[in-house]
Amino acid sequence: MAIRTVGVVGLGNMGLGMAAQLARSGFSVDGHDISAARQGVAEAAGIRFRAGLAELLADADALVFSLPYARDVEAVVTAPGGLLERRDRKVVVIDTSTSDPGTSRRLAARLAEAGHGLLDAPVSGGPAGAAAGTLTMMIGGGEADLALAGPVLEAMAAKVVHVGPSGAGNIAKLVNNMLVAAHLITTGEALRLAEAAGLPAEAVLPVVNAATGRSAVSEAMVPRWVLPGSFDSGFSAGLMRKDVGLAAALAAEVGCDLPLSAAVARIWEEMRGRIADADDFTRMADFREPPAG
């Protein structure tokens, strides 16, 4: 079953880049966003903007979701007259949103009953990776759905890792983002210590990155967005707070005691007054800010 038309739901920082990359790869791409203001940028990127979600769900051979919350994903999957009522062909939903594993498993079961598939496929690489087709995707779902969606995944990502069954992709993403949330705090504190002791952050950072203290935060985020003070990675502090909360909820659900991660989650909440949800998440590593409290 060849995939010719891909519907992309959610044309924000990530979704627009992925949709544009799919269009450049030769797919016919329909896009939908709750903001009509996205129409102009979508059409400039070769994407046909669909104001009505029902039309997109009815016509697409495959779907890509890039949405903020699990409730948004569920609302699209269960939209009246939408995907659950289609019987003309099998449609695989590639959900790149970071969601909770339980919701992914439940929606995958509902879609399977209707003859469709769902891959939970959260991504790493940011808006730049989405626009360049160089994302890393961690996939949860069945082998048959993965094979059917293969050409779409290959157009969007440089690396596709099939982690396991439905829900596994989101577990992997939450584990990853729990680490990123911690690294932002610890890297900011380490650079603050260096500065307080008389060693500029710019001087100590190359040492850290050549030694065992390095991370993606110290190697990429601090040089690109923290040192220049631009703080424009394209990922919000609010979304990171959401992911930290999902990781904490997963830990509670499976009975896993994570004291350091609990402290990280508390710090992210306590910093809400200084780092708003709309702010860039890299502000958490700003060593020039005094500690909270």
DSSP state of 292: P
Active site residue 242: no
Whole-angstrom distance, CA of residue 52 vs CA of residue 37: 14
In DSSP terms, 136 is beta-bridged to: 124, 159
Q: How far apart (Å, rounded) are the C-alpha atoms in residues 94 and 135? A: 14
Interatomic CA distance for residues 77 and 90, integer angstroms: 14
Q: Which backbone phi and psi does 123 adopt, to 5 degrees?
A: -125, 160
d(CA 223, CA 217): 9
DSSP E strand stretches across 47-148: 48-49, 62-65, 92-95, 117-120, 123-124, 135-140
Instruction: Find out whether 10 and 65 touch, Cβ atoms under 8 Å.
Output: yes
Instruction: Quote the DSSP letter at residue 178.
Output: H
Task: Report whether 281 contacts 233 (CB < 8 A).
Answer: yes
What is the rounded (10 degree) CA torsion for 168, 171, 172, 173? 120
Hey, which residues does 31 pair with through a beta bridge?
8, 49
Q: At what angle do helices 259-270 and 168-196 cross, to 10 degrees?
A: 70
How large is the angle between the packed helices 168-196 and 237-254, nearest 10 degrees?
120
Place of tokens 């990675």: 233
Residue closest to 82 by CA, chosen among 57, 107, 118, 64: 57
What are the residue numbers of the active site?
Answer: 173
